[in-house]
Amino acid sequence: IRRGAAPHRPPAPLPSRPDLPASAQMLSLVGSPLSLAGASAPGVAMRAGTPAMAVERSASIPFLKKPPALDGSMVGDVGFDPLGISTTIIELGGDLRYVREAELMHGRQAMLATVGFVFPKLFGKLPVDWAKDISLNPLEAQYQIPPVALGQIAISIAIAEGLRSRIVFSNDPDYVVGDHGFGAGMLKGKSEAQVKDMKMKELAHCRLAMVAITGMFFQTAITGSLYPLVDKF
């Protein structure tokens, strides 16, 4: 025993409770050391009562963590990025606004593609001579288009993409992603909430169209039909 230290004293024996049955007395004996340990170790009780930090989950895929780059500030951001592409882009110094621009462009093209995929079969071909011998199956028709028509398509795409790239890479702080002046009049006079709702609707249709055109391609390639729209191309 150290000098000046209080001598160690064994704990006082627990009082007997003859009024309780034997099973209850055993439980009290077992529980007493636990209660004494809790009283003599406040740090343990505090650690046990401290709540663990909850991991924020993706709204679209609840069993995955929410990507840190997707903070919900962009329209249509529901944390869907299972491959972590947004995180990689941010780590490489990229801008998610460019990714949203690409998503909108691919989505708008997909919406046009879903219509063009079945339009000739349902409503007829273009009234031009070179279209008479073109197949109604879009997977076959793409190889039957005359070189002159393909050249016009390629030049038109190059001009459109060139004009768009001047806007996208202009570093204009007032640039609104996906806004190229087409159909801007439809948003005039609408409130901020209404504009946001319209953008969300477009984005939802874009995403649906990208999935749809992929399914249409594979269904036509495998079965040669697009039931129920087209029984046989």
Beta strands in the chain (DSSP E): none
Mean pLDDT across the chain, nearest whole number? 80
Same domain, 110 and 219: yes
Tens-place pLDDT, residues 74-90: 888 888 888 888 889 88
pTM: 0.70
Same domain, 106 and 135: yes
Return d(Cα 190, Cα 196) in angstroms, integer: 10
Tens-place pLDDT, residues 140-185: 999 999 999 999 999 999 999 999 888 888 888 888 888 887 877 7
**Residue where a domain stops, chosen among 94, 112, 137:** 94
Same domain, 77 and 136: no
> Could you tell me if residue 33 is inside a domain?
no
Does the pLDDT value for residue 194 go beyond 80? yes
Binding-site residues for chlorophyll a sit at: 78, 80, 86, 100, 103, 106, 161, 164, 180-183, 201-202, 207, 219
Return d(Cα 219, Cα 132) in angstroms, integer: 25
Binding-site residues sit at: 78, 80, 86, 100, 103, 106, 108, 161, 164, 180-183, 201-202, 207, 219
Same domain, 137 and 202: yes
Backbone angles phi, psi at 8, to 5 degrees: -70, 130
Same domain, 76 and 185: no
Same domain, 112 and 217: yes
pLDDT band of 24, cuts 50, 70, 90: very low
Same domain, 71 and 107: no
Of 183 and 190, the one with more pLDDT: 190
Binding-site residues for chlorophyll b sit at: 108
Same domain, 69 and 134: no
* Domain housing 69: 63-94
> Could you tell me if residue 206 is inside a domain?
yes
Same domain, 180 and 90: no
pLDDT band of 96, cuts 50, 70, 90: confident
| Contact in structure between 110 and 206 (CB atoms under 8 Å) | yes
> Could you tell me if residue 163 is inside a domain?
no
The number of domains in the chain is: 2
Same domain, 141 and 214: yes
What pLDDT was estimated at residue 103? 93
